[in-house]
Structure 1
Amino acid sequence: MSNKINSVKEKLINDYIKKIDMAIDNYNSAIEPDEEIVNLLIEIVNVFENDIPNLQGSLLIRTGTEIRDANTTRAILIKYLADSGIEYKGKSIEENVNEKRFWNSFIHWFETELPGLELLDGKYLRWDNWDGGIWLLDLDYDHEFTLYRGTVYPDSLKNNTGDFNDIKAFIEIAYKYWIINSGECHYKFTIEVNDRFKIFKLPYRLQSGIVIKQGYKTTFPIDKIINYRMFERKIQFSEDMINSKDLMEKKSALDFIIDALQYLISTQGDSRNEQYKTLALSVSDNMDGKVYAVVKKELEELMKLSNEYFDVRHNDYLNAAKEKREALNDSLFIEYLYNRAYAMLYLLRLKHKETNECE
């Protein structure tokens, strides 16, 4: 790598960094295939083939890795400038930019447009006779959050720092307590929220009053808590961590989802075989059928993968059979294992709900 960069090449690098930033801003994972980022990265690799020979080897260039590859390329270009004694003076990547834009848009709509849409409970509105009359919002956020969350209105929402957990809490409180309790009003509010999630490319949707992370494709919502501390909380942690770019956080997500599945299995009986049978029967009561066989076999396989094959939930070098556990260092394979376990757990949670409702 050359230690000197002339002004022309410096400008070229800065221009490419700006193009990467624009491509990331315009990226929509819901539209496939989206070739803009991939084509840009291939162009950059070709242009700097001699200057930065390790660039191509640092990228995966696969469907689903576009943002990861773009951020890697951006960082390598900035480092290339730094190695030549040039400080990158462009904008840094703003954290939670889409969350901040979403909240800025949503709270503006909530406070200015929503009061006149006949969706809010009347006790949260007041009439102002100015300029022909207008409904205004009359909500004490501190009081409402203290009442329903035991804490005052979060500073993150006041200052718009993009803390999505607090945004989620606001939307769920609004749905349950502030919006008129009717199917039509809840539906219109839900549509408005979800439209904004799409506009600002956030992987969430409001469903039955709960903000859930997108990714698992289903029309069946889970609206019952089995055990928050031992079960639901682990699933929530895993949903947040699996979307991280950090390998260790992805591995933690896999640990949590397998932990949650293990907990559900452990509540079904004494022996492992009986536990698998009980859960398989919750999905299909035909023990001679293929559905029952598939579910039971999948549970066995998932436990074998986590307890014997790979270093999931275990720090021991060897498994019970004194065989070496293989370390998980491939983010894509970790996501595959996660989604496989998540899909099984989601099905069992839905069936768990149905079984209890029938009893």
Structure 2
Amino acid sequence: MSGPPPAVATVRSAVRRVLADLPSDTTALVACSGGADSLALAGAVAFEAPRVGRAAGAVTVDHGLQEGSAERAESVAGVLRGLGLSPVSVRTVAVTGPGGPEAAARRARYEALDAAVAEHAPAVVLLAHTMDDQAETVLLGLARGSGARSLSGMAPRNGHYLRPLLDLDRATVRAACDRMGLVAWEDPHNADHRYARSRVRHEALPALERTLGPGIAAALARTAAMLRADADTLDGLAGELYTAALGGADGADAADTPAPDASCAPDTAGTASGPELSVAPLSEAPAALRTRVLRRAALAAGCPAGALTARHVREIERLVTQWRGQAHIDLPGGVRVRRVAGNLRFVR
């Protein structure tokens, strides 16, 4: 007796490994837009979940960005129920806030998925990102001049989000969708060149393939995996340094305190206290760890992650490595950093 088509078998195998590792009481929720990748994932989960004794449902998010989006979301939900997935829910969101439409839609989508996880806890969400999506993410991070963490792309698991198809190329996943007999809907935003990811998908990656030869997506995905391992190690060491700097931030060094003029007056009125870090362990640490600690402290003090750049972190670092009595560093989100008595004070 012949088995399933190779593409279907490949997708099912990737899903089976992820589902089998889940606790038996955990519900697996497929995030499905109705596109080929997420439909292939949904079909594979519907097939494999009963065989490994796991409950499996799905969530589709209506962003309300196109005419007829509510009807389309209900249609996708009907397909998911037809596959045997349960529970299946439609979450309607409002796409608003800073960062442009791509960032706002992503933020709203993940808030909806988080709410679904809370409702069906214990639960996880399975996302249909492929190797090609990973390559696009790496290129976008590279274009922004991001650090190793951004260039490490998407993790196979991040909290309650799992990506079973991250090692599979898009062509295989879409072939699986076709062979399962599922009719996909292609979001027109995916081909809209106003969006950076669309330009990377339809212009940048094909240009790299033409110039450098095939296999670029796989090479970028391998690079992301290696950088992720490095970043995980560095983040662990930076966490130890952060704890040491917090623990040492109670000493005083009179030579380190600026003259008491107006520009150097303590920031106490109308401010919220953030982390205070001892300069000594930071000055002795490698720059790769020091900058991670300084970024973490700035975020803890209230800096918006999207607005805090490498330039900001370098300016904070100068208070450690090139101290010349500078008054303070102002950061996004109304955060101010000052060096006083051998410590870096982050206040808002």
What TM-score do you get using the length of structure 1 for normalisation?
A: 0.26
- The structure richer in helix per residue is 1
Answer 1 or 2: higher relative contact order, Cα 8 Å, separation at least 6: 2
Structure having the higher Rg: 1
